[in-house]
Amino acid sequence: MGGAGKDHRRERDVCAVPPLRPLARRPLGRTLLGVPLVALLLAGCVPADQRPSGKVYPLPRHQPHDGLAVVTRAGGKGLHIWIETDTSRPGVCRPRWLPDAARLRGGNGPTPTSFGLAPRQEFFLAQERGRVRLALRRQAEGLCRQRAPGNVFVWQPPPRTAAQHRPPVLPLLEEPELLSDPRAIRRAEKTLLGLPLTPDDLEEPEESQPGGS
């Protein structure tokens, strides 16, 4: 009987947390030290397949160094961060950050994929991990060496909040670049249909003079 009782006690659930005594009977310092211990025990009872692995590794999109996989959720889900370069300054290559990362799927397996877009807040939260920032720096430097080998690499940390994100300012297009010449469109249509061109179709539009009406 005694041996059976001992075996039964050994088979108790290792994740069972012993009940805490009333706070009124415990010193305050001892109580505060016990709270993290209980949280640690509870976290250790979560199955491995239900915890994010936290993996961080290169995942190219079109060429080496232009993508990084960050597993942030259970089941291998997370972010596929796209890395771009900025060479607008002569002789300088720096990263250009796109907070609209793709949703990572199968990040723990041999063939991870990505699709759609993940919320920007997840991108900003991922930047709180030093391991992610270090991996992004290495990939950005490798991408700059590949795309602009003669330029100096300048590190620019990724934004951690929406307020820190500065979208690139693109040059404005002029009106001739936005609108096509109607005569050119008509000539192309007639040529495609095999119709004869008229003298009006061959006229070129007059160029507007600077400062003119």
* Per-residue pLDDT reduced to its tens digit, 16-29: 555 555 555 555 55
My answer on whether 70 and 143 are in the same domain is: yes
* Per-residue pLDDT reduced to its tens digit, 154-183: 999 999 999 999 887 666 655 555 666 777
Q: 46 and 67 in contact (C-beta within 8 Å)? A: no
My answer on whether 33 and 92 are in the same domain is: no
Question: Which of 13-27, 48-62, 186-200 comes out lowest in average pLDDT?
Answer: 13-27
Three-class DSSP category at 102: strand
My answer on whether 21 and 65 are in the same domain is: no
Query: Is 180 domain-assigned?
Result: no
For 19, the domain range is 15-45
Question: Which of 27-31, 50-54, 108-112 comes out lowest in average pLDDT?
Answer: 27-31
C-alpha to C-alpha distance for 204 and 197, rounded to whole angstroms: 14
What total number of domains does the chain contain? Answer: 2
My answer on whether 35 and 82 are in the same domain is: no
- DSSP 8-state assignment for residue 212: -
| Residues, the chain | 213
* pTM of the entire predicted model: 0.60
Query: Is 118 domain-assigned?
Result: yes
My answer on whether 28 and 62 are in the same domain is: no
The rounded percent of the chain whose pLDDT value lies above 90 is 52
